[in-house]
């Protein structure tokens, strides 16, 4: 028998473990803001496993209702507009899992993320994965893959992004990438050639000291 | 369901926002479910403008079921098998708590001599009741519409008195449009010749026509256009003798919506006092939680450690979602624990009182 599997999606599981490892209980419960929190799976895990003080923002009212009915503090809101109300550094960690590519202005959302929290986690499907490239190159059509399963006309992904694009954006925003994870077939892979090989990427960032 | 009807006499004088004091105030209230030994399972439900303490028990005048029986009771989202639910008639009202129809110390009804009260004054009365019941901290305070205003006022001014704050279809301030509709209602009452400057209590007639018109106007604001269209459309009302509805080329209630509003208006006069309507609408118009706290709403919640939950309804144009969001943003700014959801329902402001599975789940989950 293998060890019990986490029920969290692989990128959320990586975030939970990473936050869990960094939680400084001496300074009271860590405060986490999960933007695009869905029905609150990561929030619930962080609260129960690590005693974190978690808040969520979610656009879909049905998901908000499910999260609130679990007793989680989630507001129905929009990453594009609702982060502005949070004071600077009001959280230890902010999470933006598979949401960046759905926002109107990913650059501004990233700025807000780095403003409200000391450490930000961002995950997204990598549009430069070889399957995506192949679909476009040989099929001549917008890719529909495991990582990008919805047709172009109904997907919520309005700003596709690649691993390389994100690194460039992070640097432009004065953020230092302190950790990077890459995933293919729902497993972590080595960062070697990540922009080709990763279906999903996850970054941990914080503002550089110089800023 | 089984409830206990009681009246609490506030022994001290109640200081009011106007600078006046109210002596000898009485609060009529109902309770449901058992209070536990450490007095920690109490939920206070605050009622709306024309609401009352009969949240889950039969109304003594109308004989109708409690106004929120679908939400409050054994096994219901606010479960009286687990929680001790308290619902009190606010001061200024007319269902047993001290209001303009009550007898003043000089042996005559207060009428317009009753001091103008505010939402915070109503909550002062409720807090005095909690003191009397020796309930230090509520498990939750819950309210919709004007009940939500009281709930927010309690959270802001007595932050240690409630661990959970649930606000449905409400606002932190009355808008110009809100005030306008209330003024229309008040003018209708005061224009009724039977109003007699409020001194109608001993007379033969009450300002029922004015109060009915006030209620009709207000009732429109509680519904949505979509809901009205669905429920009534342009359908005509059958005649009392059973003949099919037709345009009368007169001013009978030809349309079903007219008949419905007239019914709502006249039914209301049976159970509500016109002067109470003046006082309570005034209290709501004066409500501006930010103004009470240096002009910044976030300041109102600075001392709060409670968990908050706000719910709005997409068809509510009386207290629209933007008003709830305004409160949510202020709570975010103070790093309060807050949940918020806008639910879809087509019944307008009244949606919070009507069956809604998602609302039930949110309420149940939040008060857990």
Question: Same domain, yes or no, for B206 and B237?
Answer: yes
Mean pLDDT of B339-363: 96
Please indicate whether, in this complex, the C-beta atoms of A65 and B362 are within 8 angstroms of each other.
yes
What SS3 class is residue B85? strand
pLDDT computed for residue B114 by the predictor: 98
Domain boundary among B239, B254, B280: B280
Cα-to-chain-centroid distance, residue A24 = 22
Q: Output the CA–CA distances (angstroms, integers) from residue B140 to A18, A55, B28, B165, B311, in the order listed.
A: 35, 20, 20, 6, 15
Q: Which of B344, B289, B41 is nearest to B148 (CA)?
A: B289
Query: d(Cα B340, Cα B311) in Å, to the nearest integer?
Result: 6
Which among A31, A61, A86 has CB closest to B343?
A61
SS3 content of chain B, % helix, strand, coil (to 5): 40, 15, 45
The answer to whether residue A136 sits within a structural domain is: no
**Is residue B348 within 8 Å of residue B316, measured between CB atoms?**
yes
The answer to whether the Cβ–Cβ distance between B341 and A55 falls below 8 Å is no
The pLDDT assigned to A3 comes to 44
Number of folded domains in chain B?
2
The alpha carbon of residue B122 is apart from the nearest alpha carbon of chain A, in Å, by 29
Q: Are A64 and A27 in contact (CB under 8 A)?
A: no
| Cβ–Cβ under 8 Å, residues B85 and B78 | yes
Residues B256-266: tens digit of each pLDDT: 999 999 999 99
Structure tokens at A14: 């990586």
Q: Are residues B236 and B184 in the same domain?
A: yes
- Whether pLDDT at B131 is above 50: yes
- For the segment B181-185, the average pLDDT, to the nearest whole number, is 98
Q: Which regions of chain B does DSSP assign to beta strands (E)?
A: 4-9, 14-15, 21-22, 26-32, 42-46, 72-73, 78-79, 84-88, 140-144, 164-168, 307-313, 337-343
pLDDT, tens digit, 9 for 90 and up, residues B206-249: 999 999 999 999 999 999 999 999 999 999 999 888 888 899 99
* C-beta atoms of B339 and A61 within 8 A: no
Give the phi and the psi of residue B177 in degrees, each rounded to 5. Answer: -65, -40
Block residue for tokens 């929190």 = A37
Residue linked to tokens 């600078």: B19
**Contact criterion met (CB below 8 Å) for B289 and B297:** yes
Check CB contact under 8 Å for B366 and A64: no
Q: Which of B301, B306, B340, B342 to mutate to test binding with chain A, by most A CBs within 10 Å of its CB?
A: B340
Q: How confident is the model at residue B188 (pLDDT cuts 50, 70, 90)?
A: very high
pTM of the full predicted structure?
Answer: 0.93
Sign of CA dihedral B140, B143, B148, B150: negative
Whether residues B94 and B152 share a domain: the answer is yes
Between chains, do A69 and B309 touch, taking CB under 8 Å as contact? no
A40 three-state secondary structure: coil
Chain-centroid distance of CA B279 in Å reads 13
Cβ(B17)–Cβ(B125) below 8 Å:
no
Q: Which two tokens stand for residue A187?
A: 């497993």
Cα–Cα distance, B65 to A30 (Å, whole number): 47
Question: A200-207 and A117-125 as β-strands: parallel, antiparallel, unpaired?
Answer: antiparallel
Which residues of B are the active-site residues? 145, 316, 349
Straight-line distance from the first to the last Cα atom of chain A, in angstroms, rounded to the nearest whole number: 49
- Do B292 and B276 belong together in one domain? no
Among the partner-chain residues A53, A66, A85, the one whose CB lies closest to the CB of B329 is A85
Mean of all residue pLDDT scores within chain B: 96
Tell me: do B43 and B186 sit in the same domain: no
Within-domain flag for A188: yes
Percent of chain B with pLDDT over 90: 95
d(CA B3, CA B55): 10
B150 and B43 together in one domain: yes
Conformational region of residue B92, where left means phi above 0, alpha means psi within -120 to 50, and beta covers everything else: left
pLDDT of residue A5: 54
Examine the domain organization and report whether B197 and B164 are in the same domain.
no
What are the residues of chain A with a beta carbon less than 8 Å away from any beta carbon of chain B?
31, 53, 55, 61-62, 64-77, 82, 85-87, 90
Parent domain of A66: 10-126+159-207
Whether B198 and B130 share a structural domain = no
Taking contacts as CB-CB distances below 8 angstroms, the residues of chain B near A65 are: 341, 343, 358, 361-362
B325 and B303 together in one domain:
yes
State the nearest Cα–Cα gap between B359 and chain A, in angstroms: 8
Looking at residue B173, the DSSP 8-state letter turns out to be: B
Please name the residue of chain A whose CA is at the shortest distance from the CA of residue B329.
Answer: A85
In angstroms, the Cα distances linking A176 to A51, A112, A121, A169, B23 are 27, 15, 12, 11, 65
Q: Which of A24-28, B138-142, B162-166, B212-216 has the lowest mean pLDDT?
A: A24-28
Domain boundary at B280, B313, B343, which? B280
Query: Alpha-carbon distance A160 to B279, whole Å?
Result: 58
With residue A31 as reference, give the H or E element that holds it: strand A31-35
C-alpha to C-alpha distance for A202 and A78, rounded to whole angstroms: 21
**Tell me, what CATH number does B164's domain have?**
3.40.50.1820
Q: What is the DSSP letter of A135?
A: I
CA distance linking residue B268 with residue B131, whole number of Å: 33
pLDDT along chain A (211 residues), means of 10: 66 95 80 96 95 95 93 94 92 96 96 96 96 93 91 94 97 96 95 95 88 46
Would you call B113 helix, strand, or coil by DSSP? helix
Over the Cα atoms of chain A, what is R_g? Answer: 17
Tokens of B183: 């003024």
Residues B76 and B167 in one domain: yes
Query: CA-to-CA distance for B101 and B114, rounded, in angstroms?
Result: 9
CATH code, domain carrying B243: 1.10.1740.110
Does B155 lie in the same domain as B142?
yes
B163 and B31 share a domain?
yes
Output Rg (C-alpha) for chain B, integer angstroms. 20
How far off is chain B from A87, nearest CA to CA, in Å? 6
Residue with tokens 């968990």: B307
How many separate domains does chain A show? 1
β-sheet bridge partners, residue A122 = A96, A203
Per-residue pLDDT tens digits for B23-54: 999 999 999 999 999 999 999 999 999 999 99
The first and second tokens of residue A166, run together, are 């994100």
Structural domain of B235: 178-280
The reply to whether residue A70 touches residue B365, judged by beta carbons under 8 angstroms, is: yes
pLDDT of residue A1: 42
CATH number at residue A119: 3.40.50.150
Nearest residue of B to residue A90 by CA position?
A: B335
């Amino acid at each position: 028998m293998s060890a019990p599997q986490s029920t969290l999606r692989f990128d959320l599981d990586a975030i939970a473990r990473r936050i869990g490892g960094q939680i400084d209980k001496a300074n009271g419960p860590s405060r986490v803001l999960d933007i695009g929190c869905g029905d609150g799976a990561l929030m619930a895990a962080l609260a129960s496993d690590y005693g974190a003080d978690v808040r969520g923002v979610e656009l879909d009212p049905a998901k908000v209702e499910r999260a609130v009915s679990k007793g989680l503090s989630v507001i129905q809101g929009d990453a594009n507009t609702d982060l502005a109300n949070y004071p600077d550094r009001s959280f230890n960690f902010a999470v933006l899992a598979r949401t960046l590519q759905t926002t109107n202005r990913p650059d501004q959302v990233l700025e807000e993320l780095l403003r409200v929290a000391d450490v930000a986690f961002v995950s997204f499907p990598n549009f430069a994965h070889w399957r995506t490239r192949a679909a476009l190159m040989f099929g001549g059509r917008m890719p529909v893959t495991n990582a990008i399963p919805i047709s172009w006309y109904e997907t919520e992904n309005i700003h596709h992004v690649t691993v390389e694009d994100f690194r460039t954006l992070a640097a432009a925003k004065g953020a230092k990438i302190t950790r990077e994870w890459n995933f293919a077939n729902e497993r972590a892979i080595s960062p070697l050639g990540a922009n080709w090989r990763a279906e999903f990427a996850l970054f941990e960032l914080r503002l550089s000291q110089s800023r | 369901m089984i409830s206990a009807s009681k009246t609490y006499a506030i022994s001290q004088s109640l200081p009011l926002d106007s600078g006046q004091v109210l002596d000898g105030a009485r609060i009529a209230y109902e309770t449901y479910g058992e209070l536990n030994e450490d007095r920690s399972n109490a939920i206070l439900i605050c009622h709306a403008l024309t609401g009352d303490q009969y949240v889950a028990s039969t109304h003594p005048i109308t004989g109708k079921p409690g106004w929120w029986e679908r939400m409050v009771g054994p096994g219901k989202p606010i479960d009286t098998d687990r929680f001790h639910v308290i619902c009190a008639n606010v001061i200024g009202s007319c269902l047993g708590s001290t209001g303009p129809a009550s007898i003043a110390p000089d042996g005559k009804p207060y009428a317009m001599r009753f001091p103008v009260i505010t939402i915070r004054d109503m909550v002062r009365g409720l807090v005095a009741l909690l003191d009397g019941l020796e309930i230090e901290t509520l498990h939750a305070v819950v309210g919709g519409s004007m009940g939500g205003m009281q709930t927010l006022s309690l959270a802001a001014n007595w932050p240690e008195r409630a661990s959970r704050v649930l606000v449905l279809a409400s606002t932190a301030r009355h808008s110009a449009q809100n005030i306008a509709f209330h003024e229309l209602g008040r003018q209708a009452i005061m224009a009724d010749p039977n109003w007699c400057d409020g001194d109608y209590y001993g007379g033969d007639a009450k300002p029922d026509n004015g109060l009915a018109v006030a209620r009709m106007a207000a009732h429109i604001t509680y519904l949505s256009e979509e809901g009205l269209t669905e429920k009534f459309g342009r359908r005509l009302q059958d005649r009392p003798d059973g003949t099919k509805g037709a345009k009368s080329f007169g001013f009978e209630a030809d349309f079903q919506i007219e008949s419905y509003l007239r019914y709502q208006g006249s039914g209301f006069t049976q159970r509500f006092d016109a002067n109470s309507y003046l006082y309570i609408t005034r209290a709501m118009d004066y409500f501006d939680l930010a103004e009470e706290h240096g002009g910044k709403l976030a300041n109102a919640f600075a001392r709060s450690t409670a968990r908050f939950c706000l719910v709005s309804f997409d068809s509510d144009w009386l207290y629209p979602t933007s008003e709830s969001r305004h409160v949510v943003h202020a709570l975010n700014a103070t790093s309060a624990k807050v949940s918020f959801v806008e639910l879809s329902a087509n019944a307008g402001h009244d949606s919070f009182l009507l069956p809604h599975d998602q609302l039930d789940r949110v309420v149940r989950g939040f008060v857990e």
